[in-house]
Chain A
Amino acid sequence: MKLQKSKGARDMSIKDMTAFRFVEGTFRDSCLKWGYGEIRTPTIENLYLFTSAGTLTPESLNRVYSFLDWDGWSGERVVLRPDGTIPVARMYIESGKKDLARLFYVTNIFAFESSGKENRERWQCGCELIGAASSLADTELISLSLEVLKRTIPHDIEVSLSHAGLVKALLAKLGISPDEQAQAFDQLMDGKTDLPVPAAHRPEAADTLLSLLTLKGQSSGFVKNLKALIGAQLPEIMPHLDDFIGLITSLEEIGIKCRIDIPSGGGFEYYTGAMFQLFAGGEKVGGGGRYDMLIPSMGGGNISASGFALYLDRIMNMIKPDSVITSESVLVVNHDKDQKRAYETATELRQAGYNATIQLDNEKNCTWTLDIQSNGQYFLEGKGLKAEAGTMAEVMKCLGGQFGH
């Protein structure tokens, strides 16, 4: 029987892992510098965490990996984590803290994909800013996510904005039932703009509202003018519009340009306020949003929050391997079988910051080859250069670029 990996699973090669660790390392570095602390949640969670209204959309729920655990005789299922944010909210609530928390994580999430050609296990770098309600928090998250992307990939990053609160408020004006509103919202979150609103049910303003809901590619100025146009007619939409404009203004103040895409796609049912998506080279590489009702709905009290996730699998594919700086490697060749000397040499090199490998068989895959000769001398070769050295100090000088000949 032919051995093969499970459908939809991905092996990561040395090259892949180099890119993975580069993105992860850059993300961790930025997050720590911005005052975020790293956490990790378990791979297996209770399914009920994700099934309530306001958590995952039904379409997402139909693709989770759920099963009965070894002690699952109660009939309740567990699930391979299908989302990064909800477990973090669960962890925050369980900790009993109520104060502001800046959290980040690198995690895998699982979702079935029917063709088996896409990954069913995907990796993401996520940040959650819990306990902050203003659009300044959203600005901080967008700004942080942009910093990470700019440090990792050689593309211009586009930011697209939408607003779940605005979308929900507009849907509420369409004269459809709450169930239909929820269904329409899920469809918009899944990127479908053809809303199932029967013409007979539409109030007079419905066509205008529908056109607003399907807005794509507009500038921030459009939203500001929108306030003048519909603000007086639909006062209940004003708080969401003001919040949205507040975010746009705040981003513009620090030089971040964005475009408005109301039917965002890729959103989550738990989003309540501003939502953003990040694109590089036309591909979506991340997204996030405000989810003020998630923690309250999970019994965690009236706590606002927002967050984002960067799609590690996609970002690592955009990295040029050469751009990832790694330590230079030295192959220690030991002709005289003097194990002790070879180990001492390799240890010195490692202490000096080089990757040192003692040659086995005839391997040849390092930047430098350091030959320990029987007369006690060293012979160094690599990068088209050759040098002889009497001591390790001289070897280090050569590796540092000071070649005598």
Chain B
Amino acid sequence: MAIKIALPKGRLQNPTSHLLENAGWKLDEYNASGRLYHLKSAVFPDLRGKILHEKDIPVQVAIGNYDMGICSRDWIEELLAKYPTSSIIKIKDLGYGYGSLFMVGSAPFSVKGTVRITSEYPNLAEKFALQKRFGRFAIFPVWGAAEAYLPESAELALISQTEESKPLPGIVPSQRVLDYGACLIANRDSWESKNLFNLVSSLVAANVTETSVSPIDMKTTQPTDITDLKGKMRLALPDGHQQSHTLKLLNKAGIQIEDYPSPTGNRRPIIGIEGVSVKVIRPQDMPLQVANGNFDAAITGKDWLTNHLYQFPNSPVQELVDLKLGWVRIVAAVSHEVPGTTIGDVRSWAAQRAAPLRIATEYTNIADRYARDKRIGPYRVIPTWGATEAFIPDDADLLIENTETGSTLARHNLKIVDTLFESTACLIGRIGVEPDKQALIDTITRLLSQAV
């Protein structure tokens, strides 16, 4: 009987690779440079490995797609905070990949009015708020940079700190919430019904390091100068690989900006327009942050704007100008093994199966709407955090993903059955901002329009 294990990519991949090497598993493709997601062992012929984003691993093990998994315990606790009856057994702390979760603020915290908490761990943040009996609170799930929202847009942020984390300026740890490290987990049913003895014993024998979790200390520095942002128009710019495109466009539009991208990780670059303040956050998070008034305008992708508007149809966010950068298509793709070439063919194929169609995607609201619009019978949306193409065909049937050339999809034996829409970067703003801020938004809109 095949035994499936989900292995982490990212920061845990190297130490996990060493552990498996010492355990004699001979998963040769599992190394830091490997681009293959499907792994086989030269020693355990029944073992099937797959490389996933570590955040996806607890969910995938809990729903039984994998018998075992290795991931960081913070993501296990995040799942269990919302779904305590998940079918997961924590087998062993593995003694590496340490980190700690801290609830932080930018000043000593006191409960007053609505407490806004940003975090990549919304379930743990909600649990914290309930335990602390905050009368009124709002949780903002973010894809990253949770601390960047302090203090103007959130009172608290639940953030992860690892040995590699850079010091955070002006952050005040309020409470240590969790110390974590890499952990071996198993699906409860698999643990009860499958013979995992050889795999587990080889890991235990190889894992001779100290296995108690070492807490990480919070690294902070003195606050940078936070000018009074009251009355200023707040603009969000993207972090990550979109920074260079955005910088070029700003330069072309004649808009000066200092320290963006920042080599020190500064998320508050200085823009050369009086009355405008800038923060650097994840483009995925921008539409929600503009909608709730934390920002007045932002540069993000149409894909994320659409995903937001499908979740909140009455949202006050709108596209102001198409920046015609970073063109991608949002497509529906399936394995080549699925018959047909259109979504209609996929629907007919799915209708003959007993199980619901599994749709893996980062764009959960777009996928949900698409499945409804296309009258796909019973379906399940599986949220992913990257490497979505790895889910097909074992763990998902249909993918909703962005692609530029389609080459990544082709490399994973996938074919496109539909194009939902095309997406480019755009400037977004909120309907109903104050007139003085609106004037600044209009200026930026005009300058960027001329530069496109």
Q: What are 12 contact pairs spanning A and B, CB under 8 A? A: A1-B356, A51-B133, A52-B135, A53-B133, A62-B130, A71-B312, A71-B315, A73-B288, A73-B291, A74-B138, A75-B292, A76-B136
Residue in A closest to B315 when the chains form the complex, CB atoms? A73
Least Cβ distance of A25 to chain B in Å?
38
Residues of chain A within 8 A of B314, CB atoms compared: 70-71
Q: Quick one: which of B251-289 are within 8 Å of A by CB?
A: 288
Whether a CB of chain A sits under 8 angstroms from the CB of B134 is yes
**Cα distance A68–B138 in the bound complex, in angstroms:** 10
Whether a CB of chain A sits under 8 angstroms from the CB of B338 is no
Residues of chain A within 8 A of B313, CB atoms compared: 70
Whether a CB of chain A sits under 8 angstroms from the CB of B180 is no
Q: Quick one: which of B123-140 are within 8 Å of A by CB?
A: 127, 129-131, 133-140
Whether a CB of chain B sits under 8 angstroms from the CB of A255 is no
Residue in A closest to B351 when the chains form the complex, CB atoms? A1
B-facing mask of A261-305, CB < 8 A → 1, else 0?
000000000000000000000000000000000000000000000
Residue in B closest to A116 when the chains form the complex, CB atoms? B85
Closest CB pairs A-B (n = 9)? A75-B138, A73-B291, A52-B135, A48-B136, A53-B133, A114-B85, A76-B138, A73-B312, A75-B140
Q: Of residues A58, A70, A75, which shows the largest number of chain B Cβ atoms within 10 Å of its Cβ?
A: A75
One of A52, A53, A61, A74 near B292 (C-beta < 8 A): A74
Least Cβ distance of B119 to chain A in Å?
11
Least Cβ distance of A73 to chain B in Å?
4
Least Cβ distance of A253 to chain B in Å?
40
**Cα distance A75–B313 in the bound complex, in angstroms:** 15
Residues of chain B within 8 A of A62, CB atoms compared: 84, 127, 130
Q: Are A58 and B312 CB-contacts (below 8 A) given A48-B135, A75-B139? A: no
Whether a CB of chain A sits under 8 angstroms from the CB of B188 is no
**Cα distance A250–B346 in the bound complex, in angstroms:** 72
Q: Of residues A51, A52, A73, which shows the largest number of chain B Cβ atoms within 10 Å of its Cβ?
A: A73
Whether a CB of chain B sits under 8 angstroms from the CB of A235 is no
**Cα distance A251–B413 in the bound complex, in angstroms:** 77
CB-based contact A51/B137 at 8 Å: yes
Q: Quick one: which of A47-100 are within 8 Å of B by CB?
A: 48, 51-53, 58, 61-62, 68, 70-77
Number of chain A residues whose Cβ lies closer than 8 Å to a Cβ of chain B: 18
Residues of chain B within 8 A of A51, CB atoms compared: 129-130, 133-137
Residues of A participating in the B interface, judged by any CB pair closer than 8 Å: 1, 48, 51-53, 58, 61-62, 68, 70-77, 114
Q: A51-B130, A73-B315 are in contact. List 10 more A-B contacts (CB 8 A).
A: A1-B354, A1-B356, A48-B135, A48-B136, A51-B129, A51-B133, A62-B127, A71-B315, A73-B292, A76-B136
Q: Are A48 and B356 CB-contacts (below 8 A) given A70-B313, A71-B312, A74-B292? A: no
Whether a CB of chain A sits under 8 angstroms from the CB of B2 is no
One of A1, A52, A74 near B378 (C-beta < 8 A): A1
Residues of B participating in the A interface, judged by any CB pair closer than 8 Å: 84-85, 114, 116, 127, 129-131, 133-140, 288, 291-292, 308, 311-315, 354-356, 377-378
Residues of chain B within 8 A of A71, CB atoms compared: 312, 314-315
Residues of chain B within 8 A of A76, CB atoms compared: 114, 136-138
Least Cβ distance of B320 to chain A in Å?
18
Residues of chain B within 8 A of A73, CB atoms compared: 288, 291-292, 308, 312, 315
**Cα distance A53–B133 in the bound complex, in angstroms:** 6
Q: Are A52 and B133 CB-contacts (below 8 A) given A75-B292, A114-B84? A: yes
**Cα distance A61–B85 in the bound complex, in angstroms:** 16
Residues of chain A within 8 A of B114, CB atoms compared: 76
**Cα distance A286–B331 in the bound complex, in angstroms:** 55
Residues of chain B within 8 A of A52, CB atoms compared: 133, 135-136
Residues of chain A within 8 A of B137, CB atoms compared: 48, 51, 76
**Cα distance A75–B117 in the bound complex, in angstroms:** 9
Residue in A closest to B378 when the chains form the complex, CB atoms? A1
Residue in A closest to B308 when the chains form the complex, CB atoms? A73
Residues of chain A within 8 A of B378, CB atoms compared: 1
Residues of chain A within 8 A of B140, CB atoms compared: 75
Least Cβ distance of B259 to chain A in Å?
29
Residue in A closest to B129 when the chains form the complex, CB atoms? A51
Residues of chain A within 8 A of B311, CB atoms compared: 68, 70
Residues of chain A within 8 A of B291, CB atoms compared: 73
Least Cβ distance of B307 to chain A in Å?
13
Residues of chain B within 8 A of A72, CB atoms compared: 312
Residues of chain A within 8 A of B84, CB atoms compared: 62, 114
CB-based contact B130/A70 at 8 Å: no
**Cα distance A76–B131 in the bound complex, in angstroms:** 17
Least Cβ distance of B402 to chain A in Å?
23
**Cα distance A1–B135 in the bound complex, in angstroms:** 43
Residue in B closest to A74 when the chains form the complex, CB atoms? B292
CB-based contact B138/A58 at 8 Å: no
Residue in B closest to A75 when the chains form the complex, CB atoms? B138
**Cα distance A73–B139 in the bound complex, in angstroms:** 10
Residues of chain A within 8 A of B308, CB atoms compared: 73
**Cα distance A75–B315 in the bound complex, in angstroms:** 12
Least Cβ distance of A61 to chain B in Å?
5
Residues of chain A within 8 A of B136, CB atoms compared: 48, 51-52, 76
Residues of chain A within 8 A of B355, CB atoms compared: 1
**Cα distance A336–B319 in the bound complex, in angstroms:** 70
Residues of chain B within 8 A of A77, CB atoms compared: 139
Least Cβ distance of A112 to chain B in Å?
9
Residues of chain A within 8 A of B116, CB atoms compared: 75
**Cα distance A61–B356 in the bound complex, in angstroms:** 31
**Cα distance A74–B289 in the bound complex, in angstroms:** 9
Q: Are A58 and B134 CB-contacts (below 8 A) given A1-B354, A72-B312, A73-B291? A: no
**Cα distance A52–B114 in the bound complex, in angstroms:** 12
Least Cβ distance of B73 to chain A in Å?
20
**Cα distance A71–B377 in the bound complex, in angstroms:** 27
Least Cβ distance of A3 to chain B in Å?
10
Least Cβ distance of B445 to chain A in Å?
22
**Cα distance A74–B354 in the bound complex, in angstroms:** 39
Least Cβ distance of A67 to chain B in Å?
11
Least Cβ distance of A2 to chain B in Å?
8
Residues of chain B within 8 A of A68, CB atoms compared: 311
Least Cβ distance of B143 to chain A in Å?
15
**Cα distance A8–B354 in the bound complex, in angstroms:** 23
Residues of chain A within 8 A of B292, CB atoms compared: 73-75
Residues of chain B within 8 A of A53, CB atoms compared: 133, 135
Least Cβ distance of B139 to chain A in Å?
6
Least Cβ distance of B302 to chain A in Å?
18
Residues of chain A within 8 A of B377, CB atoms compared: 1
Residue in A closest to B116 when the chains form the complex, CB atoms? A75
Residue in A closest to B316 when the chains form the complex, CB atoms? A73
Residues of chain B within 8 A of A114, CB atoms compared: 84-85
**Cα distance A77–B137 in the bound complex, in angstroms:** 9
Residues of chain B within 8 A of A61, CB atoms compared: 130
Residue in B closest to A182 when the chains form the complex, CB atoms? B133
**Cα distance A77–B130 in the bound complex, in angstroms:** 13
Residues of chain A within 8 A of B312, CB atoms compared: 70-73
**Cα distance A70–B114 in the bound complex, in angstroms:** 20
Least Cβ distance of A77 to chain B in Å?
8
**Cα distance A34–B314 in the bound complex, in angstroms:** 46
One of B85, B130, B135, B354 near A58 (C-beta < 8 A): B130
